[in-house]
Structure 1
Amino acid sequence: MAQPWPHPKTRVFWFRRAVPKDLRDLVGKREELFSLETKDPAEARVRYAKRSAEVEARWANLRGGARTLTEREAHALATSAHEQWLYLHHDDPSFQVGWHTDLYPTLWTAVPLPETEAQPGVTGTVPITNLFYRSMRHRCFAEADRILARNGLVVDEWSRTKLARAVGVALQRASLTLGRAAQGEIGLDDSPAHDSTREADGHVGAAAPSIPTPSRALTQRGGPKPLSLTGLFDAWWQEAKGAGRKPSTHESYDKTVRYLIAFLKHDDATQVTAEDIVAFKDYRLATPSKRTGKVPSAKTVKDSDLAALKTLFGWAVINRKLPANPASGLTIKIGKRQRVRAKGFVEVEVHAILSAALHYVAGEHENPRTAAAKRWLPWLCAFSGARVGEMGQLRRQDLRREGDLWIINITPEAGTVKTDEARDVVLHQQLVELGFPSFVAASAEGPLFLTPGKGGDVLGPLAGLLNRMREFVRPIVPDPNVQPNHGWRHLFTTICEEAEINPRVYNAIMGHAGRTVAESYGDVTLKAKAIAICKLPSFDLDKLRAITGRG
């Protein structure tokens, strides 16, 4: 899971995320890297969530390509310039000398003379006001460009001009407010918008808040527009989906939003307070699930419910839909959980599951693809450590032969891959002997284990398939301390360690990211993977048959 990275020397937490391959040319770098400016782990996670939502929104905008801004959108984007200007001059408003409010009415109509000394034969010198005009215009366009870059927006020249003019409006309004404050006519907010996280690339300026919170003056202009929690979630997901967030995230966040609506007994995001979120947190920690009858763990509430709400409300603040994030700063301190057993399946459990899969007989009305999943997925995961969902979305074309090797291609083109990177997995010889290549060859084109939904949707049916696989394994392994779908990854790691396989090789087979920067150099080849897979022992079929009493 992406999380704040502590610098090994300073212990200050940093934001680090790899830029998706399709955006690297547009972003101009391979990694988003900037300081979160805190050594406190809890605060770092809060800031990380805010910045992650901002980065994902920017990436989504970049993927959208060039667009045209409306004046309404331009003014919404320019709000940050207003807040920054107030923040920069909050303590000494009379020191604001960079913006000339008396020149603003003719800022876009004046025609400045050249910014040079008068040429020979030309009467007069350059009026100082012309230099002010140019400075103000330059500030507007420079800030417009920073806003566009910060949000990942690509616009036409007319939209850039619209935004520059909107910035001018924002700076004029803020400067007039500062002027009144300098005369003692009004008082500025005692707690100006501020966030200690800064833009690492200098887009906002040395002291400007990177995620400004609208000031009191902004909220007094009528308050936030009506916004439902359901609508907020749907709007966030449209961007998050384009930025590569996983269907599992959608399912988890959707569940949290529904829980919150039921708890609050309303669906109005603008009415949610920090006190509401605290009460919701306490309610979740004390209320058993209707489905399982169990109270969710503190870790579940923290990592699922609170993380979801921080992200959603943080996105709403960034996109000027809400003035503040009511979930900001709220966390739960979690002690180390007791471990009473290994996370992976033990030998007797492995044999029981593989035996049940080997001898599985489809139900009378069972979908043949679901039956095939119960027959093959446990074996495929046992010999690859792959996530069940990755194997569950396999298509007929994802299996190929190269020489003596049968190779499975796990690719996000088939549905979803956590790392968003395709990888090849060499098929173990026992899977070949059991007839998996023959099963694939006899299958129809498309997914092997699920039936796509409308429009070719795979993710919905895949979620259903994962539930069917949990239901298949759980009666065989009832111990709640092991996850019926994830246990294979722990088991595969254990088997590879026993076979003395290089960790970098088996991590590449499993689809784990490298543990260090050094591990990102070079490639783990098919040859290296094949050698590793050959070291894995086959399962004793006679022992598996004996479990079910079959000869």
Structure 2
Amino acid sequence: MALMTTRPWKHPKTGIYYLRRAVPADLLARVGKREEKISLGTKDPVRAKGLHASALLELEQRWANLRCGAASLSEREAHELAAPLSAWWFDQHRDEPSQQTFWRTDLGDGLWPRRPPGWSLRPAVGAALIEEAADSSVHARCAMEDWCSEQADALLKRRGLVVDETDRRKLARAVAAVMQRASLALHAAMRGEAVDVGQTLVVRPAMPTSAMATPPAEMAQNSLLPISLTALVEAWWREAERTGKAASTHEAYAHAFRLLVAFLGHDNAHRVTKHDIVRFKDHRLASRKRNGDLVSATTVKNSDLAALKAVFGWALDNGRIIENPALGVTVAKAAKVKLREREFTAEEARTLLRAASDLTPGRELPQTYAAKHWIPWVLAFTGARVGEIAQLRRQDLRRETVAGYPEGVWVLRITPEAGTVKTKQAREVPLHPQLVELGFPAFVEGGRGERLFIVPDVKGQIAGPLQGVKNRLSEFARHHVIDPGVSPNHSWRHRFRTVATEAGVSGNVIDALCGWSAKSVGERYGSVSLKARTDAIMRLPRIEV
């Protein structure tokens, strides 16, 4: 049931106040959602009350306009509707007026130029078009015109007005006139001249500035266009990183937005609609991966759409956009046909490990060859996630004294210091004797670089190279184990639990080795010692290939 509130609603996580109002039944089809949720852009409860009253009046007016259907817009009404943009624009740049570079006052009076009669029949029209295309001022003017049209659409949407194309253009021209006056006032302020904002800029907006069509934070940073989808992800990440979100999450979300930009053909966050997100979802469901398989519905739901919902939701809560276009878009959950267990069979494990052992260096990077040669073996005896092993450093392996093992034990430390660890907690996994016999410690100690299996990029980052190595490992495994019922890398993790359980290792020790969270409060008490972990690893049988 949609929420009906007569007072500001405080978001439980962000503390920002909102106007929330159920959409009347007769407007559901036109509005396209069951509830209006409008950010008031403040955490101050006193200020929120005044903004809530203004926003509620505006919302009621919008609904009244929608009930009236199509309307006509006079030039006077268009200028009155666009007037609040003037004060808002001036406020963005009043402190540093010289930094305003988007709106060019030398072009502001000449937008939407009209061609003279017979222009297209000129003998040299082709040369004129080529010359025009090379003129940078033409591109700047087009950007300004597009911006004004988008602001006009946003204003009409906020008021619930439905007008024809002529009146839409009329409002866009009114927006341009307001922007021109405000920008000229900024030029005067830049020269140190006194500017009477109250007279020059008409009126201040009655609506909360956080609900304006263009995000104040981006304009304050002198963005040449309304906020881009790419910039939106990066703005989200600047905050998410400080809350402990993993770099892999950033990469996954950024990838989803790159796919969206490529699909839409533009990078403007304010132009994205719910219909666009639905079309993108359908496009992704029909897309194929590099191996020719269709992208799974799970990937579209839990990766692509999850990323869009999270970032757009953050942008809405922080006043960057006026609605979350991904809200409510999902993929129906279908029952998955299971024809086999998810772990490798004993024969599949032997086949893959035999291929890894017999592999000879090719034209690929030495680190990629080493990954294919060693990582399957390490996964088989640690139950680790493939990324946790692929990002290993030389210092992550050490020899440790353990009671009952006089010659010491090689211990692998899986730690967030090396990269992404899902639980964000370091853990220690002793090496199985077969890994020692195969020479894994000698390989680690003989490494030249810090990273064993990846080469960081020019900025020293590992997210991209790490994903590349994981992809190569997946392709390598799939070449030898073709059954789609198993995951090329993750099935080692399933097999490890099965083998360890058969060897008599207790569940809490398996969880500690694999980095699984405790299932109950009681299991969170105490810890699994290095000796208990070593005893468990020593129980695992050798794998003869």
- Normalised by the length of structure 1, the TM-score is 0.60
**Residues in 2 aligned to 1:377 and 1:303: alpha-carbon distance in whole angstroms:** 27
Residue 479 (structure 2) pairs with residue 475 (structure 1)? yes
Aligned to 2:370: 372
Is the contact made by 2:383 and 2:492 (CA closer than 8 Å) also made in structure 1? Answer: yes
Is the contact made by 2:227 and 2:269 (CA closer than 8 Å) also made in structure 1? Answer: yes
**Where does 1:525-540 land on structure 2 (aligned, <5 Å)?**
525-540=529-544
Q: Is the alpha carbon distance of 1:440 and 1:294 closer, same or farther for their aligned partners in structure 2, counting shifts above 3 Å?
A: closer
Give 1:244 shift.
3.1
What is the CA deviation profile of residues 253-272 of structure 1, one whole-angstrom value per residue up to 9, with x for unaligned ones? 23322332233232221121
**Residues in 1 aligned to 2:488 and 2:59: alpha-carbon distance in whole angstroms:** 63
Q: Is the alpha carbon distance of 1:500 and 1:173 closer, same or farther for their aligned partners in structure 2, counting shifts above 3 Å?
A: closer
Give 1:306 shift.
1.6
Match of 2:388 among 387, 390, 404: 390
Aligned to 2:317: 318
Is the contact made by 2:394 and 2:450 (CA closer than 8 Å) also made in structure 1? Answer: yes
Is the contact made by 2:248 and 2:420 (CA closer than 8 Å) also made in structure 1? Answer: no
Give 1:360 shift.
2.1
Q: Is the alpha carbon distance of 1:439 and 1:298 closer, same or farther for their aligned partners in structure 2, counting shifts above 3 Å?
A: closer
Partner SS for 1:406: strand
Q: Is the alpha carbon distance of 1:284 and 1:435 closer, same or farther for their aligned partners in structure 2, counting shifts above 3 Å?
A: closer
**Where does 1:343-382 land on structure 2 (aligned, <5 Å)?**
343-363=342-362, 365-382=363-380
Give 1:186 shift.
9.8
Q: Is the alpha carbon distance of 1:256 and 1:247 closer, same or farther for their aligned partners in structure 2, counting shifts above 3 Å?
A: same
Q: Is the alpha carbon distance of 1:511 and 1:215 closer, same or farther for their aligned partners in structure 2, counting shifts above 3 Å?
A: farther
Partner SS for 2:413: strand
**Residues in 1 aligned to 2:60 and 2:423: alpha-carbon distance in whole angstroms:** 51
Aligned to 1:257: 257
**Where does 1:511-550 land on structure 2 (aligned, <5 Å)?**
511-540=515-544, 544=545
Give 1:168 shift.
5.6
Give 1:474 shift.
1.6
**Where does 1:31-42 land on structure 2 (aligned, <5 Å)?**
none
**Residues in 1 aligned to 2:492 and 2:302: alpha-carbon distance in whole angstroms:** 23
Partner SS for 2:379: helix
**Residues in 1 aligned to 2:397 and 2:211: alpha-carbon distance in whole angstroms:** 61
Larger radius of gyration, structure 1 or 2? Answer: 2
**Residues in 2 aligned to 1:254 and 1:177: alpha-carbon distance in whole angstroms:** 33
The one-letter code sitting in structure 2 at the alignment partner of 1:369 is: Q
Aligned to 1:430: 434
Aligned to 1:223: 213
Q: Is the alpha carbon distance of 1:422 and 1:215 closer, same or farther for their aligned partners in structure 2, counting shifts above 3 Å?
A: farther
**Residues in 2 aligned to 1:302 and 1:222: alpha-carbon distance in whole angstroms:** 30
What is the CA deviation profile of residues 182-220 of structure 1, one whole-angstrom value per residue up to 9, with x for unaligned ones? xxx9957779xxxxxxxxxxxxxxxxxxxxxx9874489
**Residues in 2 aligned to 1:454 and 1:354: alpha-carbon distance in whole angstroms:** 33
The one-letter code sitting in structure 1 at the alignment partner of 2:236 is: W
- Normalised by the length of structure 2, the TM-score is 0.61
Aligned to 1:416: 420
Aligned to 2:300: 301
Is the contact made by 2:400 and 2:409 (CA closer than 8 Å) also made in structure 1? Answer: yes
Aligned to 1:291: 290
**Residues in 1 aligned to 2:258 and 2:500: alpha-carbon distance in whole angstroms:** 42
Aligned to 1:68: none
Match of 1:487 among 487, 491, 497: 491
**Where does 1:66-105 land on structure 2 (aligned, <5 Å)?**
80-81=16-17, 83=18
Q: Is the alpha carbon distance of 1:297 and 1:414 closer, same or farther for their aligned partners in structure 2, counting shifts above 3 Å?
A: closer
Aligned to 1:97: none
Q: Is the alpha carbon distance of 1:430 and 1:233 closer, same or farther for their aligned partners in structure 2, counting shifts above 3 Å?
A: same
Partner SS for 1:362: coil
What is the CA deviation profile of residues 207-260 of structure 1, one whole-angstrom value per residue up to 9, with x for unaligned ones? xxxxxxx98744897533422212212222233333333344334323322332
Greater shift, 233-242 or 478-487, is seen at 233-242
Q: Is the alpha carbon distance of 1:480 and 1:327 closer, same or farther for their aligned partners in structure 2, counting shifts above 3 Å?
A: same
Give 1:176 shift.
7.1
Q: Is the alpha carbon distance of 1:439 and 1:176 closer, same or farther for their aligned partners in structure 2, counting shifts above 3 Å?
A: closer
Q: Is the alpha carbon distance of 1:172 and 1:332 closer, same or farther for their aligned partners in structure 2, counting shifts above 3 Å?
A: closer
Aligned to 2:246: 246
The one-letter code sitting in structure 1 at the alignment partner of 2:276 is: D
**Where does 1:35-74 land on structure 2 (aligned, <5 Å)?**
none
**Residues in 1 aligned to 2:463 and 2:281: alpha-carbon distance in whole angstroms:** 30
Is the contact made by 1:306 and 1:331 (CA closer than 8 Å) also made in structure 2? Answer: yes
**Residues in 1 aligned to 2:509 and 2:302: alpha-carbon distance in whole angstroms:** 30
Partner SS for 1:317: helix
Aligned to 1:233: 233
**Residues in 1 aligned to 2:453 and 2:384: alpha-carbon distance in whole angstroms:** 15
Is the contact made by 1:344 and 1:491 (CA closer than 8 Å) also made in structure 2? Answer: yes
Residue 467 (structure 2) pairs with residue 463 (structure 1)? yes
Is the contact made by 1:219 and 1:323 (CA closer than 8 Å) also made in structure 2? Answer: no
Give 1:387 shift.
0.9
Is the contact made by 1:393 and 1:447 (CA closer than 8 Å) also made in structure 2? Answer: yes
Structure 1 regions of 5+ residues with no counterpart?
Answer: 1-36, 39-50, 59-76, 88-142, 148-163, 192-213, 545-551
Aligned to 1:327: 326
Give 1:171 shift.
4.3
Is the contact made by 2:211 and 2:322 (CA closer than 8 Å) also made in structure 1? Answer: no
What is the CA deviation profile of residues 435-461 of structure 1, one whole-angstrom value per residue up to 9, with x for unaligned ones? 222222222351122222234322222
What is the CA deviation profile of residues 520-539 of structure 1, one whole-angstrom value per residue up to 9, with x for unaligned ones? 11111111111111110011
Alignment RMSD (CA, Å): 3.3
Partner SS for 1:409: strand
The one-letter code sitting in structure 2 at the alignment partner of 1:503 is: G
Residue 258 (structure 2) pairs with residue 268 (structure 1)? no
Aligned to 2:338: 339
Is the contact made by 1:393 and 1:462 (CA closer than 8 Å) also made in structure 2? Answer: yes
Partner SS for 1:401: strand
Q: Is the alpha carbon distance of 1:495 and 1:223 closer, same or farther for their aligned partners in structure 2, counting shifts above 3 Å?
A: same
Structure 2 regions of 5+ residues with no counterpart?
Answer: 3-10, 22-39, 65-156, 160-206, 216-225, 402-407
Percent of paired sites with the same residue: 46
Partner SS for 2:382: coil
**Residues in 2 aligned to 1:186 and 1:334: alpha-carbon distance in whole angstroms:** 36
**Residues in 1 aligned to 2:467 and 2:532: alpha-carbon distance in whole angstroms:** 33
**Residues in 2 aligned to 1:309 and 1:368: alpha-carbon distance in whole angstroms:** 37
Aligned to 2:165: none
Partner SS for 2:424: coil
**Residues in 1 aligned to 2:447 and 2:410: alpha-carbon distance in whole angstroms:** 16
What is the CA deviation profile of residues 15-60 of structure 1, one whole-angstrom value per residue up to 9, with x for unaligned ones? xxxxxxxxxxxxxxxxxxxxxx99xxxxxxxxxxxx9xx96xx7xx
What is the CA deviation profile of residues 404-461 of structure 1, one whole-angstrom value per residue up to 9, with x for unaligned ones? 2111111111122111111000111111122222222222351122222234322222
Is the contact made by 1:390 and 1:417 (CA closer than 8 Å) also made in structure 2? Answer: yes
Q: Is the alpha carbon distance of 1:508 and 1:187 closer, same or farther for their aligned partners in structure 2, counting shifts above 3 Å?
A: same
**Residues in 1 aligned to 2:289 and 2:513: alpha-carbon distance in whole angstroms:** 39
**Residues in 1 aligned to 2:532 and 2:54: alpha-carbon distance in whole angstroms:** 68
Partner SS for 2:398: strand
Is the contact made by 2:251 and 2:463 (CA closer than 8 Å) also made in structure 1? Answer: no
Which of structure 1's runs of 4+ aligned residues deviate more than 6 A? 188-191
